Amino acid sequence: MGKSLDVVVFGSANIEYITYVAELPKPGELVAGSHMETCFGGKGANQCVAAAKLGASTALVAKLGKDESGDDYLNHLQQHRVNVGHVEQVKDNPTGMSEIAVSNEGQQYKINVAGANAFLTAKDVTRARKCFQEARVLLCQLEVDMNATMCALRQFKGVSILHLSPMRNNIPLAMISLPSILVMNQEAASHLAEMDEVKTLEQARQAASTLIDKGARGVIITMGDQGAVFMSKKSRDMCTHVPASDVPHLADSSGAADAFLGGLAYHVARFPKLTPEHHICAANACAAYSLGRRGTQPSFPGKEGAKDNLCFITPTFNVIPPPTAEAENEPEEAEVAAPPPATPPQETSAQEPVAEEIPPPPEEPFVETTPAPAPPPEETPKPVETAAERKSDEVGKVDNRNAEPAANKT
């Protein structure tokens, strides 16, 4: 029997207070803000709303305060058709809060107060057992208790995605092997892979390979304007790079990562037979859309905002070669186009689930794609001498013989 829920999210919900400034303040410095706005946020709720706005059926397992902010947030989630049956309001505790400053260049700092989020525990995984059984994709982050998050990942039997954000220093090694897909930025990748930095595609490949060695089953490293790098345990020799989508104007980066994760979860749930590069290309399109708009959840695309890029464009990606002597003689990157599906991709309906479109099991989250071998070089045809050319050559030889005596007489 098919699944009736696309995405279940286990994570945080915060109220965000965002201030826009020309430049971020230095320690002890006072700067003037251009304006301030209040938004619904928290990585868990953000990613849930991002998937819901694209059309996914979603459920959120989270905690809110029993206060005015919590009441408003609950209504907001219901307006986006998020299943809030497991969003509990905690008495005598405030809804979580985040203070964010965003510069004109899109840089930001963030201060988070957990509030009611601190009360999300492993018991809530048990209470939400039905949602976990019905969902195709589980989405988690690191803004709530890590033991509770690890419990959620262990209990889920579909495709699980763990966003390693915000980065922590005490991540258990066992956590790396639990999800089907690990998603992280360059800083988190360098920390977990024990590298000085991850700035180039080759360094990203090295970091992903190290994480596979540590037990990860699938790794996506987001590289900002360079796009994203993907490697799986099943085919680790083929590490792919999916370029970023165009961003005509950078307005605010605060929601881009959550737009990427929500888009990724939606696409994996609704189009499980497409390739990893299709899924990542769709997520890149959502992130690019968000970067061009202010705010967090208000910047997420809806069904029309990213529809074309989400499922009807065949993505182009690059294969990052391994660092071997043979690869040094090859071009740095070989461009490959992901094969389009035989028929236009069909979304898996939440109301009428189709058994054959259930996502693959956790150990095989993606369908792997191997680039076709390059065709052998064409042989250059040998020139064929015509009769007229042979006759012309013979006449030339006679002329040369006649010219030799004259040359000798000079």
Tens of pLDDT, residues 319-342: 999 886 554 455 444 455 555 554
295 is in an annotated binding site: yes
Decide if pLDDT at 393 tops 80.
no
**Per-residue confidence (pLDDT) for residue 308, from 0 to 100:** 59
> Residues 242-257: what's their mean pLDDT?
87
Higher pLDDT, 315 or 57: 57
Marked catalytic residue, from 6, 196, 258, 393: 258
**Per-residue confidence (pLDDT) for residue 347, from 0 to 100:** 58
CA–CA distances in Å: residue 298 to residues 8, 301, 323, 406? 21, 8, 42, 94
pTM of the model: 0.79
**Per-residue confidence (pLDDT) for residue 76, from 0 to 100:** 97
Architecture of domain 5-11+42-91+117-357: 3-Layer(aba) Sandwich (3.40)
**Per-residue confidence (pLDDT) for residue 345, from 0 to 100:** 57
User: Which band of pLDDT confidence, cut at 50, 70 and 90, is reported for residue 219?
Assistant: very high
Query: What pLDDT, in 10s, does the model give residues 137-179?
Result: 999 999 999 999 999 999 999 999 999 999 988 899 999 999 9
136 is in an annotated binding site: no
User: Which band of pLDDT confidence, cut at 50, 70 and 90, is reported for residue 349?
Assistant: low
**Per-residue confidence (pLDDT) for residue 337, from 0 to 100:** 53
Tell me the C-alpha distance between 371 and 277, whole Å.
12
Strand order from edge to edge, sheet including 33-41: 33-41, 14-21, 96-102, 108-113
Tell me the C-alpha distance between 163 and 212, whole Å.
16
**Per-residue confidence (pLDDT) for residue 254, from 0 to 100:** 80
238 is in an annotated binding site: no
224 is in an annotated binding site: yes
**Per-residue confidence (pLDDT) for residue 306, from 0 to 100:** 64
Lowest mean pLDDT among 121-125, 209-213, 236-240, 352-356: 352-356
Identify the three-state secondary structure at position 232.
strand
Decide if pLDDT at 369 tops 80.
no
> Residues 188-211: what's their mean pLDDT?
96
Lowest mean pLDDT among 39-53, 242-256, 271-285, 349-363: 349-363
Q: What stretch of H or E contains 204?
A: helix 201-213
Going by C-alpha positions, the residue among 277, 229, 225 that lies closest to residue 256 is 225
**Per-residue confidence (pLDDT) for residue 358, from 0 to 100:** 39
Please say whether the beta carbons of 359 and 8 come within 8 A.
no
Higher pLDDT, 396 or 248: 248
| Sign of CA pseudo-dihedral 250, 255, 261, 264 | negative
Decide if pLDDT at 380 tops 50.
no
- Is 92 annotated in the active site? no
Higher pLDDT, 63 or 347: 63
185 is in an annotated binding site: yes
180 is in an annotated binding site: no
Please say whether the beta carbons of 103 and 23 come within 8 A.
yes
For the chain, give the mean pLDDT. Answer: 83
Residue 345: which residues within 8 A CB-CB, separation 6 or more? 271, 273, 274, 311, 312
Lowest mean pLDDT among 122-126, 180-184, 305-309, 360-364: 360-364
Decide if pLDDT at 188 tops 70.
yes
Tell me the C-alpha distance between 384 and 393, whole Å.
14
Residue 292 tokens read as 């061009």
Please say whether the beta carbons of 158 and 362 come within 8 A.
yes
The segment with the largest mean pLDDT, out of 71-85, 242-256, 343-357, is: 71-85
28 is in an annotated binding site: no
User: Which band of pLDDT confidence, cut at 50, 70 and 90, is reported for residue 1?
Assistant: very low
User: Which band of pLDDT confidence, cut at 50, 70 and 90, is reported for residue 250?
Assistant: confident
Lowest mean pLDDT among 6-15, 205-214, 356-365, 371-380: 356-365
57 is in an annotated binding site: no
350 is in an annotated binding site: no
CA atoms lying within 13 Å on the CB side of residue 281: 22
> Residues 261-278: what's their mean pLDDT?
94
47 is in an annotated binding site: no
Decide if pLDDT at 252 tops 50.
yes
